[in-house]
Every structure is written in structure tokens, then in C-alpha cells.
A and B are shown apart, each in its own frame.
Chain A
Amino acid sequence: MAEPPRSSTTSLATALREAALAALVAALLSVPLLGFRLVDSAQGLSLDYRFLWVVYAAFGVFSARLILNLTGSSIVGSVQKSFSGITIVKRFTGDWERIVGWVLIGLAFLLPLLGDRNLADRATLVLIYVMLGTGLSIVVGLAGLLDLGYVAFYAVGAYCYAILALTFGLSFWICLPLAGLFAGLFGILLGFPVLRLRGDYLAIVTLGFGEIVRILLINWQDLTGGPDGIIGIPRPTLFGLEFRMGDDAGSFAGFFGIPFSPAHRIFFLYYLALALVLFTVFFVQRIRRLPIGRAWEALREDEIACRSLGLNPTTIKLSAFALGASFAGFAGSFFATRQGFISPESFTFIESAIILAIVVLGGMGSVIGIVFAAILLVGLPEWFRELEQFRMFAFGIVMVLVVVWRPHGLLSKRSPSVLLNQQATK
């Protein structure tokens, strides 16, 4: 109120100046990025100049910035303000989140009815990352232990399934829990040396652990096939029915008396992934409300206070590592059976980084946030393929928008694991 009205001419001048500055930066950046193009012609490589594109880019940035300055320079700020900081919300928003969750599950069940094989295949990939993100959210989101080597457990699960299935002929359904168990053991193995570490130091050691596992996979030729990987991994079966050509009673198509279609397996894999994701999500949602889940969060908040109340930080940390790792193991064995081929190349650091980005973008521990972040980070780059050379550019824009609008992740509201008044309604 007390603020004197600003004259419109000065604000227009500032807006113009800022827009011009932004346009200048955009022009400078886009000269090397857009201005030159390497052309492969008969005479060899030559440069093609397209400075008109630079002008377009600069003009685009200028007008966008000008509009933002004149109309609602506060848009970004106000949205940002309303989402900054983790706040504990009460039941109503919890209900809203539950409704969105059920709608998402419903949509996920209906998705194959569209009959689009590519869409189902991409969605399966997204589901794998939802599962990985949910598993990692136990370690990073709940227990607050920054793990940069999560892909190691994913690899352990995948190789565990491949080796067990090929050597002993065990079925997918027996290998799945074994792979989870084995990855969980690896989680404890990593947990022991890092018990005393926190923050950056923990991140470095886990990063190293991820690399150790990958390099081990490359060099242990006899067991893992080295850089060539393992091929011919058995595909999963539906109660013994295989997804293959032929109309005998042993194949899915033959048993149900329908014509064979390769889509059957894709849709089956999709539903299998969906079932695994639902199991993971319900498990994590449930365990968050149990004493162990609360202990993880308490450990993230204050380890010393935990000790003073009689909680043993060692077992709490190890249980978080082990459980988080087992879910990576499940996801890994599903990945192996889906691809039919695995090699160390699938388990590089960038995978860990993507999974961590999903957890952080999702908002540290919010499952629905993880789903949206996985769609954004894994699904979008696939859909952006049609944009060809601008694919990663579009991906970058989306990332920047998310970081600007939701600096604490897509859904960063934490609802308490227990409410005092919920008994009254029960």
C-alpha cells in the first residue's frame, strides 16, 4: 500500500533491457549450437551456415522474456513460493493423493487395451524405473542415505536371474525372490563399510561400489561372459505357458486357441511389470507406517537423537540398504527376462544417476511423484524421438521447467505416518 506507484515507462524500459539481455545471451549460446551445421557431402565434410536460426532463437527468447516481464513477472515466483519447503499435510490432501493413485492404477490397467505395442513397451520401461525409484526412495528418501551406486544391485539382480536360469534351469518365479535376496545380501555387504559415513562421503563410496560391480562383471569372464554379456536368457512363462509360435498345448496361443501374436508377450510383460510395481509401491507405503519405516525417517532427521532413544543405527541403516537393494534385484531380474540379453553396458553410472534423478524430482519419498518423474525422465525422451536432433534439447527444457517450478520435487509434501485423530474415524 505504502509503495508509490511505479511509472509505467521505467518498468517498460527495465523489461525491454532485461529482454534484450536475455536475447543477447540466447544469441551467443545459439551461434555455436544452431548457427553451424556439419554437412556430409561428396567432397567430404563442410560447414553449412544457418544464422537465421540464431535470429529466430534470439527473437523467441526476447519476446518470451518481455511477455514474462510485462504480464506476470511474479508467475514463477508465486508458484515457487507455494511449493517451497517440505510441509506436512493433513488428511484431505492425503485423500487427494490416494484418488490420483487409484486413477493412475486404473489407467495403467487399461493401457494395453489401446492395442499399441510400442506404447506398452515404453510403458514397461517406465514401470521398471518406477520400481527402481521406489526402491531407492527407501534408501535416499526415507533413510536419507545418498546412494550413487544403486545400479549395482540392479545388475546383481539381472545377472543372478540370468545365471541361475541358464545354469540350473530355474523358472522366473523361483529366481525372482532369489534375485531379490541376493541383491539384498549385496546391500548389507555395501552397508557394513559405510555405516559411519554420511552425505558426500557416503555418496563417493557408493559410487565406487557401483563401478566395482560393473568392472567385476566385465572381467569375470567365466561367470558373466565379460563384455559380451549373457544371451538367450529364458523368457517368463504364464503358469508354464510359453509365449512362442506354435499351437501345441505348451504355448500361450495354442492353449487358449487363439492365433499367435508377438504382442501377447509384450502385454504379458507389461502386466508383469505392473504387478511388480504395485507390489513394491504397496510394500513401501505400508512399511513407511511401521516402526521400521519411522525409524528410517528418524535416522535421516537426527542420528544422535535416535541413539539416545535406544534405536540401533547399525541395524536401521543395514535394513534400509538391504530392502532398497532387494527391490533393485527384483527389477533387475525382470529387466533380464524382458531383454533376453544383458551386458555390463546396461549398468553404467548414468543409470544410477537417472534413478536418483527420478527420486529427487519426484520429491523424495512420494510414490506418485516418482511415477510422474519416471514418465518425465524415461518416457518423454522416448516420445521426443520424433523431434530428432532436438530431442535432448526438449528434455533439457522440461528439466529446467521442473526445477524452476518445483524446486523440492514434483510432490514434496510429506504426510505423517500416523495421526492422533484417525482412531476416532476408524
Chain B
Amino acid sequence: MTGSLLRVEGLTMRFGGLTAVDNLSFNVAADEITAIIGPNGAGKTTVFNCLTGFYQPTSGHLQMVHPNGKAFSLERMSGHTIARNARAVRTFQNIRLFSGMSVLENLMIAQHISLMRASLYSIGGLLGLAGYRKAEREAIELARYWLEKVNLIESADEPAGSLSYGARRRLEIARAMCASPLLLCLDEPAAGLNPHEDMELCELLADIRREHNIAILLIEHDMGIVMRISDHIVVIDHGACIADGTPADVRANPAVIRAYLGEPDEDEAQAVVG
């Protein structure tokens, strides 16, 4: 256990008069799976957008500290530098693949930065220098590794847009992993998956965490998955944190049950959290 990778302190995001996220604070520990849950419209995706540079937070502090001690203030960085330097890479609720390009190409683009450097900003690549050819082979090998993990090796050269829905979800996760993140942010990775695919996803995430020592932050509605794989759950409602703790704590927390069901009667609450 190496302390916290990401510290969110007093994050607030206002759109005009609407406060989407209100003074939210939580920690994401390195090599843990942290889940953000909450009813629809609670502000979960807004937190993600602030975290990955798509929104500029109204106030608050987002600090990411790498294991080597390097610190980044995410609220001051623009979108692409967060993925590049702070190494926090995200996926999207409505999958965003490069659908006209092949599956393998999607994974190659995720390794753009290192490949660009290896090709000496294209000049070495144009001249066909050995250094670039080696880097490209390594990039393909990394892509092959992840394609095998997510079970897409057969369709490596197919257009990404022709994949089934579940396969596209898996490909997006593989693409994010090819960008070698320290913090993987998944926005509803199980949305629209069938129970079998849910199970595969759980295994994949557990595997990523076990073998690659990276922290995962996920937003998810499927309580079955959240309770099964998370080490730590943050519950938000109307932009504010209402519970923060282990799955067992959150399950028993009356505030959470109220947020999901209003004033509950016992049976329904059991259905949601059990």
C-alpha cells in the first residue's frame, strides 16, 4: 500500500447557477479500485471531466502524486497533457473509438507519444531508421498483449466500428491501457453489457490491478460489479459526497439508501444494495 495517488480537495464545478459538483473531497489510493456511485445526475461524469481536463473546475484542488514523488496539479493542466504527463487516461460513457480505423491502429494511436519520439518526430520514420522500426515492433507487441487480454486478437485488422458493443467497450479499455496510465478512469464500463460480459469485465479489471499496479477509478451503475470489485466507494448525490468507505460500510450507510430510494422501506433498499 503506497498511499494516495490522487487527492481531490474541495472540488466545485458550477455551470452558471447550477452547482454540479459541490465541495467534493476524496482520495484514490494507488493500486486500489475506487468506485464513484450516485443516482443519475449526481455529478459523477462532471467529476471525471474536471479530472481529465475537459472542464476547468470552478474551484478546488486535484493533486496527483506519482510513485516517484512527482506531483501534478490537474486543475491547471489542459486535456492532452493530463494523459501525457500526469498519466491519467479515461474512457467514455458513450464509447469514443476511431471507428473507421482498424482495431490495431486504435491501440497504436494510444502509443503515439512514445512512437513519435522514437520516429524523431517523423523524420527518422521517413528515412526508415532502425530505431523507429524497433519501436514500432514493440508497440505492436504491446498492442498484441492487450488484444489477447481483451480477447480481440482475432479481429485485430477489422475496422473498430464493425465490432459488437461489448467488444467496443473492451477495446476502449485496452486502448486506454496502451497509453500506459497510472490512473485508469472508466466511465460506466459495464453499461449495456450482458451478465456474461459483466463477469469478463470484472476479471479484466481485477487482472489489470493485480498485474499492472495501477489505480482504477470507475463510475458505475451496476451495483453488482461495484460491490464485487471495488476496494473503496465514494457515493455522491447532488454534487456532494454523502458516503466514503469500503463496500461494506457504504452498503450499510442509511444516507446512501435514502439517496437511492428516498425514504426507504426495507425490502427495496435490500434490492438495491444487496
By a beta-carbon cutoff of 8 Å, the part of chain A in contact with chain B is 86-88, 90, 283, 286-287, 290-292, 294-295, 297-298, 300-302, 304-313, 414, 416-421, 423
Q: Assuming the A-B contacts A287-B126, A416-B101, are A305 and B116 also in contact, with contact meaning beta carbons closer than 8 angstroms in the complex?
A: no
With A and B bound together, what is the CA distance between A300 and B101 in angstroms? Answer: 10
> Which A residues are in CB contact (< 8 Å) with B125?
286-287, 290-291
Sorted from nearest, which 4 A-B pairs have the closest CB atoms? A310-B83, A310-B84, A301-B98, A416-B102
Asked if A298 and B104 sit within 8 Å, CB to CB, the answer is: no
Q: Assuming the A-B contacts A287-B126, A290-B119, A418-B104, are A311 and B112 also in contact, with contact meaning beta carbons closer than 8 angstroms in the complex?
A: yes
Known: A308-B96, A309-B112, A419-B157. 7 other contacts (CB 8 A): A291-B115, A291-B125, A292-B121, A295-B109, A307-B79, A310-B179, A418-B102
Chain B residue nearest to A283 in the complex (CB): B126
With A and B bound together, what is the CA distance between A88 and B163 in angstroms? Answer: 13
Chain A residue nearest to B185 in the complex (CB): A308
Closest CB in chain A relative to B270 CB, distance in Å:
38
B92 within 8 A of partner (CB): yes
Asked if B156 and A305 sit within 8 Å, CB to CB, the answer is: no
Asked if B157 and A309 sit within 8 Å, CB to CB, the answer is: no
With A and B bound together, what is the CA distance between A311 and B96 in angstroms? Answer: 15
With A and B bound together, what is the CA distance between A417 and B102 in angstroms? Answer: 9
Closest CB in chain B relative to A380 CB, distance in Å:
31
> Which A residues are in CB contact (< 8 Å) with B79?
307-308
- Give B92-130 interface residues, CB cut-off 8 Å to A: 92, 96-102, 104-105, 108-110, 112-113, 115-116, 119, 121-122, 125-126
Asked if B52 and A292 sit within 8 Å, CB to CB, the answer is: no
B137 within 8 A of partner (CB): yes
**Which of these, A294, A308, A419, contacts B89 with CB under 8 Å?**
A308
Chain B residue nearest to A312 in the complex (CB): B80
> Which B residues are in CB contact (< 8 Å) with A287?
122, 125-126
What are 17 inter-chain pairs, A to B, with CB distance below 8 A? A292-B121, A294-B109, A298-B109, A301-B97, A304-B54, A305-B97, A306-B80, A306-B109, A308-B79, A309-B80, A309-B110, A313-B80, A419-B102, A419-B104, A420-B104, A420-B156, A423-B140
> Which B residues are in CB contact (< 8 Å) with A300?
100
> Which B residues are in CB contact (< 8 Å) with A418?
102, 104-105, 108, 136, 140
Asked if B159 and A294 sit within 8 Å, CB to CB, the answer is: no
> Which B residues are in CB contact (< 8 Å) with A421?
156-157
> Which B residues are in CB contact (< 8 Å) with A297?
98, 100-101, 105
Q: Contact flags (1/0) for B138-167 with A, using CB distance below 8 Å?
A: 001001100100000100111100000000
With A and B bound together, what is the CA distance between A311 and B79 in angstroms? Answer: 9
> Which A residues are in CB contact (< 8 Å) with B102?
88, 416, 418-419
